[in-house]
Amino acid sequence: MRFHRNCESRFALEEAQQIVIQWPRAAKREDLMKLTRRTLLAAASSAALLIQPVASAAQELPRNVRLVIGSTSTGGDTYQNSAIVAEALAEQLGINIKVDAVGATEAFKALGRDSRGNTLMIFHDQSYLGNLYGVTGYADPFEGYTVGQTVAINPGNAYLVGCDSPYQSMDDILTAAANGDRVRVAIQPGGVSEIGFSAMKNAASVRAPGSEENIVAVNTGSQSDKNQAMWDDLADVINGSIQANEQFTQLPADDQKCMRFVWITARPATLEQAPAAGMGNTTRDQMLQYASPATSVTLDGTQDFTFDKEFFFLYNKDMDPAIIDQVDAALTAIYDKGAIQDRQKASFFIPNFLPADEARQHLTDKRETYAKVIEQISGGS
Amino acid sequence: MGNLGQVTIDFERSHLVFPILIGSILALLGIAILITRRDRIAASGPNWRQTFADMDKLRFFGTLVLTVLYFSLMVPVGNFWPNTGLGFLICSIPYVLATGLLFMHERPLRQVLVMLVIAVIGPSFVWWLFTEIFFLTLP
Amino acid sequence: MEFLSIISPLFLFLVVGGTFVGIIFGAIPGMTATMAVAVCLPLTYSLGLENGLALLLGLYVGGISGGLVPAILLGIPGTPSSITTTFDGYPMAQKGEGEKALRIGICASFVGGIVSLLALYLAAPSLAEFAIEFSYVEKFLIILFALTVMAALSTDLLMGIFSGFLGIFISLIGVYDISDGGNGKLRLVPPGTEYWLDSGFSLLPVLIGVFGLAAILDQAELGVPKGQSRGDVKIGKGSSFSFSVFKGQTVNLLRSSGIGTFVGILPGVGGSAASILAYSQAKTFSKKSANFGKGEPTGLMASESGNNGLTGGALVPLLSLGIPGDSTTALLIGAFTLQGIQVGPLFIGNNPDTWNAMIFAMLVANIAMFAMMYFAIRYFALVVTIPKHVLFPIILMMCVIGAYTINYGIMFDVWTLLIFGLFGWLAVKLRLEIAPFIIGFILGPSAEIYFVKSLESFGTLSIFFTKSWIAMLLWVLIIGSLTASIYLSRRQAKIAATG
């Protein structure tokens, strides 16, 4: 039920936890609404032409744009990112852009309904990971929509253990699994939170085929649930984030709540762009110790697995591509000025602008890599 | 207690556990109600006829019809001026006016004019407040 | 006292202004404290951390408090946590004691706010330490405890409980939410309706449908009669307010504030459970429990001190664990990250000035809330003098705004309003009971997730009894509360039969 979004929800810093799944394709509503809509539109379209004699040129974004996001929280990373981008874009183009935190399901629906460019969307890797994990109703965004520009990365995705854990590193964990010990990992299934877990299983199977069976998921929800799972001794390793969990790593070791990082999934190139001071009392150099190549979770025996949570635009499939070009040009100008990068870095985001074509290629490749990982661990065992 | 309460829940099917549990309790309670209240339920027919006869049908169904119209028109009208909230504004004015008139008992011209003024000012103020000041999305 | 340098006229203005705007949001059915904070969050970027927090905390306190106004005067809860306020506040207003009820509610809110603020200030870290002792099992039992109020609220026990379970059942429609730990699969969704029902019915539209639209439909059915109820009630007609109502209520106020604070501390248990639990305990312990639901000030006090007790409580896990206690405080995390401040177990120690400023802002907000609302009562109360043919259309329109904006623009939420308006109207005719229904609906999803997760994690039903001493204590309370309400309902039935 939807009220969890607005009334009682356990929001957490990580957006991954906020995702609501399933949007049966928009077609169904179209069928039901066809009659009313068509008649109404027919009756009123002539009137509309009269009312709006100076309709904005087709290839441009309209004056009032609604930017829907795949999260329902206005305090989370997707919202913050989108708000920063929306503000800069609105200023650059001289239009109004309103960010609406409607959540993945509703955002995709709203985007699917509007091909005029009045509705745009920003979301992150969850959009295709949900599909890859076969979460009910999650369609392929590369097929149903147009994937556009990337704007930033949240480099925070991490895995942690309790301070009293016998595991000091990912290597310990994978070795333990190879030795037949069960390692329980608390994640939120079906997306960004699960992909690192899948990578662990994959690495275990590369190192010692069959040992991936010993890495098991504890399916939880928000960050608070994952932390709680560790404190209740229901999980040995939890998925978390630098932002939400760093302070727990600074607690005295005898504190029940104390945690240690074992793995930060970001690409080293991404983390290197983070402020040198890092976050809290953990410097960038310390973070790099937990990321590839210092901490290796192998992809195929030669390369390391990495995951960056990237935020990107999504467009209606039938929208005029000229609008995408317009956003390309506007974002290029914005990123050339450089102010947006400072704002993003201040909120611990890594600026990462790629024009639509490049971004699409990059994300398609990324998706392919993860598709293979997911396929291997589900098919291989 | 040990093994007696043993339950294994398969995560893939865990979405059905609670609905089945609650559904069963609901069914049991429903049966209990049917049994204990069967006389009253059997005798409810005339009651319903009475309710329907006493109903102010014009005002009741009028409210429903106006509300359904109001809800259905908001979005299509709003689509002509996307993301401005005008769909809400344009539909609210006649809706407030019409329901207001429907609920009035006598309709002297003065009262009707007052209602008209309220129907214009009320929605306009609210529209202005929420779209311009609080920057919320309206249809 | 370094933090005193933070307290500027601007700071005070923002707290007071925030409280004022918050009250307005809270007072509009369907607009919540969460939304007030969400709407103003972007402003805090330019205000700086302390001033931004001043504004947001003012909005938070105001938003939670404002809900009592429509709850009492119109019988429509302004926010989900003021649901129990309608049970006794609205009957009082109908008896012509609207002004008195408002004053009682505001005083109780103030007490709740201050008690929870004290708890926050004096004991945040140790309370947080205690809160993490609550695993899925204990959280389920807390919800179960709150659900026992369904029995206490029923006039006809069997029908009441049936309605409550129906509420739970309907709340399960849609996906088993992944973000709460579910598996994201649909259930109870009739084929063909997936497009609308995939995330089920939203709470607020259901609430304002059942309480707001249904009441108006009811009036329409009666032909919007002129000479009774709302429109022509003289506000001051009943007995007038004096502080002596609070005589003998110290225990009730403290217990309810304490319950509110404690429920606030538990992440994920949620705000409405606070006032529901406070209300049901007040009813269980009260000598006048038969009057509950008919305009008993004790119930009103419990509800309002409980829901304002939430404000301080929900900040405890936020500021000492970095985990929000409710959805509004979740947004506060956004305000901190916008300013590059981490919230977590080290927050208070690392940012003593910010911490003190926050406490001070909460204090000012509570005082401002009290002052503004207490003295503005006669203006609020004017609502009941507006003729119905003007009031009803405006309420309907405001309900639409509330429903549409609650999830940032989803039309189905508006239709939900109509569906549940009709349902609420029909339910009364079917002798279903609305109060237990809505409580089941509010608590259903949390009950599910904690119940299923407990079994998933521990694999045995016995865990509910053996997990910890907290679990056992909760069972004692649950059984006590159930026995009391069944006994009371029997006694009432007997009195009704003989009298």
Q: Which of A40, A48, A98 faces B83 most closely, judged by CB atoms?
A: A98
**Partner chains of B (3+ C-beta pairs under 8 Å):** A, C
Find tokens 């030669």 and name the residue.
Answer: A302
> Are the folds of A2-28+60-154+309-371 and A157-305 the same?
yes
- pLDDT at residue C258, as a whole number: 94
Is the Cβ of C445 closer than 8 Å to some Cβ of chain A?
yes
Find tokens 């829940």 and name the residue.
Answer: B9
- pLDDT at residue C287, as a whole number: 82
| Range of B48-52, C104-108, C288-292 with top mean pLDDT | C104-108
Rounded to 10°, the helix B57-78/C214-221 angle is 140
Q: Is there a single domain that holds both residue B77 and residue B114? A: yes
Tell me the shortest Cα–Cα distance from C234 to chain B, in angstroms.
Answer: 21
Is the Cβ of B47 closer than 8 Å to some Cβ of chain A?
no
Half-sphere exposure of C210 (CA within 13 A, CB side): 23
C386: confidence class by pLDDT, cuts 50, 70, 90? confident
- pLDDT at residue B3, as a whole number: 61
Cβ pair B17:C455 closer than 8 A: yes
B72: confidence class by pLDDT, cuts 50, 70, 90? very high
Q: Is there a single domain that holds both residue B108 and residue B81? A: yes
Whole-angstrom Cα distance, residue C469 to residue C475?
10
pLDDT digits (tens, 9 = 90+) for C140-156: 999 999 898 888 788 88
Which residues span the domain enclosing C348? 2-498
Q: How many CB atoms lie within 10 A of CB B65?
A: 12
Which of B18, B83, B135 has the highest number of chain A CBs within 10 A, making it the mutation to test binding with A?
Answer: B83
C190: confidence class by pLDDT, cuts 50, 70, 90? very high
Check pLDDT > 50 for residue A46.
no
The token pair at C306 is: 């409980």
Domain assignment of residue B139, yes or no: no
Q: Is there a single domain that holds both residue B77 and residue B43? A: no
Backbone angles phi, psi at A162, to 5 degrees: -70, 155
Contacts of A248 in chain C (CB under 8 A): 322, 344-345
Q: Is there a single domain that holds both residue B60 and residue B127? A: yes
A135: confidence class by pLDDT, cuts 50, 70, 90? confident
Interface of C with B in 220-249 (CB under 8 A): 220-224, 226
Q: Is there a single domain that holds both residue B60 and residue B118? A: yes
- pLDDT at residue B4, as a whole number: 66
Q: Write down which residue in B51, B69, B88 finishes a domain.
A: B51
pLDDT digits (tens, 9 = 90+) for A284-340: 999 999 999 999 999 999 999 999 999 999 999 999 999 999 999 999 999 999 999
Whole-angstrom Cα distance, residue C402 to residue C276?
22
Cβ pair C330:A106 closer than 8 A: no
Domain assignment of residue B138, yes or no: no
Q: Is there a single domain that holds both residue B59 and residue B47? A: no
Whole-angstrom Cα distance, residue C357 to residue C290?
44
Contacts of B139 in chain C (CB under 8 A): 404, 409, 411
Find tokens 């202005």 and name the residue.
Answer: B128
Whole-angstrom Cα distance, residue C330 to residue C56?
12
| Range of A125-129, A376-380, C228-232, C338-342 with top mean pLDDT | A125-129
- pLDDT at residue C491, as a whole number: 74
Question: Quick check: helix, strand or coil at residue A22?
Answer: coil
Domain assignment of residue B24, yes or no: yes
Whole-angstrom Cα distance, residue B36 to residue C158?
10
The token pair at B111 is: 């009262």
Domain assignment of residue B104, yes or no: yes
Q: What ipTM does the predicted assembly reach?
A: 0.94
pLDDT digits (tens, 9 = 90+) for C63-110: 999 999 999 999 998 888 889 999 999 999 888 888 899 999 999 999
What DSSP character marks residue A136? T
Is the Cβ of B24 closer than 8 Å to some Cβ of chain A?
no
Q: What are the distances in angstroms from CA B22 to CA B119, C9, C160, C170, C198?
A: 45, 55, 15, 10, 20
Lowest mean pLDDT among A77-81, C33-37, C102-106, C170-174: C33-37
Which residues span the domain enclosing B14? 2-51
Is the Cβ of C455 closer than 8 Å to some Cβ of chain B?
yes
Supply the CATH classification number for the domain A157-305: 3.40.190.10
Cβ pair A75:C330 closer than 8 A: yes
Whole-angstrom Cα distance, residue C52 to residue C270?
24
Domain assignment of residue B20, yes or no: yes
The residue extents of the domains of chain A are 2-28+60-154+309-371, 157-305
* Number of domains chain C contains: 1
Query: Terminus-to-terminus CA distance in chain B, angstroms?
Result: 57
Q: Is there a single domain that holds both residue B26 and residue B90? A: no
Higher pLDDT, A39 or A370: A370
Q: How many CB atoms lie within 10 A of CB A210?
A: 13
Selecting from 3.40.50.300, 3.20.20.70, 3.40.190.150, 3.40.50.2300, what CATH number does the domain A2-28+60-154+309-371 have? 3.40.190.150
pLDDT digits (tens, 9 = 90+) for C240-258: 778 888 888 999 999 999 9
Domain assignment of residue B126, yes or no: yes
pLDDT digits (tens, 9 = 90+) for C31-69: 788 888 888 887 777 788 889 999 999 999 999 999 999
What DSSP character marks residue A282? B
- The mean pLDDT of C319-348, rounded to a whole number, is 83
Interface of B with C in 42-101 (CB under 8 A): 48, 51, 55-56, 59-60, 62-64, 67-68, 70-71, 74-75, 88, 92, 95-97, 99-101
Whole-angstrom Cα distance, residue A293 to residue A266?
11
Q: Which residue in C has a C-alpha nearest to residue A343's C-alpha?
A: C338
Higher pLDDT, A47 or C480: C480
Check pLDDT > 60 for residue A12.
no
- pLDDT at residue C468, as a whole number: 92
C261: confidence class by pLDDT, cuts 50, 70, 90? very high
Is the Cβ of B14 closer than 8 Å to some Cβ of chain C?
yes
Cβ pair B137:A98 closer than 8 A: yes
**How far is C-alpha B114 from the geometric centre of its chain's CA atoms?**
27
